[in-house]
Amino acid sequence: MMRECTLMQVKMAPLIITERRIIIYLCSFMGGIIGLHCLGDSWLWGTRLMQITGAAICLMLGLMVLFIWVYLRGRKIAVIGPFIFALFCGAAGFNLAAVQYNLHQSAYLTAPSEVKIIAEIFNIDGWASDRSRLWVKTIETDSDRPQLANARARVTSKNVPTAATIGAVIEMRVRLFPPPRRILPGTTDFGRNARVADIVASGFVTSSIRVLAAPEKPDISLLLGMLRAAQAKDLNDALAKPAGGIAAALIVGDRRFIVEPVYDLFRKSGLAHLLAISGLHMGLLCFGCMAAMRYGAALLPVWANHVAMHKYAAVVAIVIGLIYVCLSGASVSAMRAFMMALLVILAVLIDRRALTMRNVALAGFVILALNPVALFSAGFQLSFAATALLVMAYEKTQHRPMQRRHWLWRYVTGIIIASFLANCATAPFTAQHFGSFTPWGVIANMIGIPLTGFWIMPAALLYMLALPFGASGIIAPVLELGIVMLIHTAEFFAELPFADSAVAPPGYAALALLVLGVVVGYACTAPWRFAGWGMVGLACLIGSLKPLPDAVIFAQNRSPTLVAASAGGELTIYRRLSAFLIDMAALRLGQHADPEKIQHCNEFCQHQLRRGEAVAIVLKRHGLSAACDDRNTDVIISLATPLYPCRTAKSIYYFTQNMDDNYLLYRDKTGVNYVSSNSGSGQLACLALQPRQC
């Protein structure tokens, strides 16, 4: 008996392509995570979060019951089922993010403190040649602060003894600070990331580090970290510099031994993704092992015809990939790559199509369910954006007839198209997180990817296999030569014009609209998909028209310090700052900076902003009189509090010493306004103004 379609079914049924619903569900899941993170710290780190979690659980269960009822009810209202399930995914994401915060409600340091600690090292990163970051768990302190008892902290030091390895017990004196709040509006909240990782304080070492005991009876995670660090050190010592550091990053994912100038070459040339354990490395390892086993089985055709060798090879590839992930530190990009490889291999085991958008979405569900805060990391966003767009393009072309051209031509064109699509997918996120754009990345990857895939990674695999037999010295020169060629490639493209172009971040609102537009355009049918591409165009317009700040004030836990954009295209720094804060200012202002160029103003400095407006910058109070008498400026920005107004009635915008936030400054026709790093709404507010109030 045939059923009659209702009017709602007729209108709604062709809205979403059935096979692509899962990407809508993933977006709803991510929307729930974002919704929780939009709450303020007073909600996230307090008892009210428990109430929110209870409400989210009730909502999730209610939506699941409603979905089951709709599913069992029949086809007449089944069209509502996907929308209810999308709401359920949103509630699940919200709830899982809330659970993550509830599990990490440890007390954190509330005020700076200098203490002597005895601690165990559980991780080391940073730059081995400059500053190493030690992740430690305290065993004993001379402080009466209960937050530091058996707590995790992160400290930085330039002089780390060789014996201070993972698992070692060390003694040192450190200057510790509370987890940082958001540095600037529109940037990553490093404080939340630290607290989710149970880091109660961060700081730097103020004394020499004394090793008290070598590692003893480590657990499995510590043992894997020790093996990874030891292997990275062996690779760095076995090969010439800087090839050894590159080999350690490519093989075990440890980038401590890469010197910063070399890493900058890879970043400027668009080859930095090769230094992280990603889909390229995981694919070469897992599927290379599968291919090797199947080729080996082909030598025994009688036996191979009676055994499903491709499935046995798939199981071996899963085991090898899992071991590789554990040894490489299980970063977000490595986990994403392994999940994708695992889903592809499982599809081989159950005789299903392997490379689909469903597998990408499932990998996203698993990673975000285990660690919801990973959604806001650059690694997750860059890797998933590139993978998703490549799979979308593959699905569009998989039903086309195979080209009858030479395999070399097909490979070269494939590399060009894949590099171009990956650059397009990651460009907005690179601008948001790093404030840079690499126009030569497509051409550089045409050389770098084949060099890595056909030379470096096979040589690295042979090197690791030969290591237990003492024959690694035979393979080492081959591996080193390939890495040297890769470094020269990065150096060539990094020195080309516009290789490291500074761009302003488009903003999270534009990125969210861009992602939503791509998803709607991909998952919906015509004419609905045209609305999605319209959203993509609107996101690009919003990102390009977003007003840029003219200056940054750093006043959080320090005396006010100003960094201003200039008409010359380079930031001007007033008073000394750390390299990290200068990088954050360069990211938000969209210009490069030289940390060594510090502007010293005897009385005041006349500064020309990017749009040509001239302002007077005053660092000390005695310069206010000269700035007030200056005829070339009509606005004064002072880092000292004035005691009286200008005789010329000139406006003085000043910062008091008790302003405990960082600020973005905007100069417009109405004056100088700001946005605070602690502002939840992002609304502009007026600075303290002398002599008139706003």
* pLDDT value, residue 30: 92
Instruction: Write out pLDDT tens, residues 255-269.
Output: 888 888 888 888 888
Instruction: Write out pLDDT tens, residues 217-259.
Output: 666 767 777 778 888 888 888 888 888 888 888 888 788 888 8
Residues 200, 107 contacting (CB under 8 angstroms): yes
Q: What integer is the mean pLDDT of 567-578?
A: 84
pLDDT at 75 over 70: no
Q: Which of 342-356, 379-393, 478-492 has the lowest mean pLDDT?
A: 342-356
SS3 114: strand
Residue with tokens 């490889």: 341
Strand partners, 598: 573
Cα 574 from Cα 560, distance rounded (Å): 10
User: Would you state the structure tokens that stand for residue 622, as one six-digit string?
Assistant: 């005695």
Every domain of the chain and the residues it spans: 14-103, 113-217, 240-502, 508-545, 551-690
- Predicted structure pTM score: 0.81
* pLDDT value, residue 618: 87
* pLDDT value, residue 469: 82
- Would you say how long the chain is, in residues? 694
Which segments of 305-434 does DSSP mark as H helices, in order? 309-327, 332-349, 357-370, 378-397, 407-434
* pLDDT value, residue 485: 92
One-letter amino acid at 253 equals G
pLDDT at 473 over 80: yes
Confidence of residue 679 (pLDDT cuts 50, 70, 90): low
- Roughly what angle, to the nearest 10 degrees, separates helices 332-349 and 357-370? 130
The CATH fold of domain 113-217: OB fold (Dihydrolipoamide Acetyltransferase, E2P) (2.40.50)
pLDDT at 595 over 70: yes
Confidence of residue 693 (pLDDT cuts 50, 70, 90): very low
pLDDT at 316 over 80: yes
- 616 vs 82, residue with greater confidence: 616
Instruction: Write out pLDDT tens, residues 413-432.
Output: 777 777 788 888 888 888 88
Q: What does DSSP assign to residue 290?
A: H
How many other CB atoms are found less than 10 A from the CB of residue 508? Answer: 14
One-letter amino acid at 101 equals Y
* pLDDT value, residue 617: 87
Confidence of residue 405 (pLDDT cuts 50, 70, 90): low
* pLDDT value, residue 694: 36
Q: What integer is the mean pLDDT of 286-314?
A: 78
Confidence of residue 61 (pLDDT cuts 50, 70, 90): confident
- 520 vs 681, residue with greater confidence: 520
> SS3 for 191-239, per residue?
HHHHHHCCEEEEEEECCCCEEEECCCCCCHHHHHHHHHHHHHHHHHHHC
Largest Cα–Cα separation, the chain: 100
* pLDDT value, residue 29: 92
- 217 vs 501, residue with greater confidence: 501
* pLDDT value, residue 81: 72
Range of 146-160, 310-324, 506-520 with top mean pLDDT: 506-520
pLDDT at 692 over 50: no
User: Would you state the structure tokens that stand for residue 134, as one six-digit string?
Assistant: 């030690």
Residues 487, 243 contacting (CB under 8 angstroms): yes
pLDDT at 435 over 70: yes
- Beta pairing class for 113-126 and 169-177: antiparallel
Q: Nearest Cα to 549, choosing from 508, 589, 607, 505? A: 589
* pLDDT value, residue 298: 78
* pLDDT value, residue 2: 46
Instruction: Write out pLDDT tens, residues 121-171.
Output: 888 887 777 788 888 888 888 877 777 888 888 888 888 888 888 888 899
Strand partners, 115: 174
* pLDDT value, residue 566: 86
User: Would you state the structure tokens that stand for residue 93, as one six-digit string?
Assistant: 């994401």
> What mean pLDDT is reported for the chain?
79
- 495 vs 61, residue with greater confidence: 495
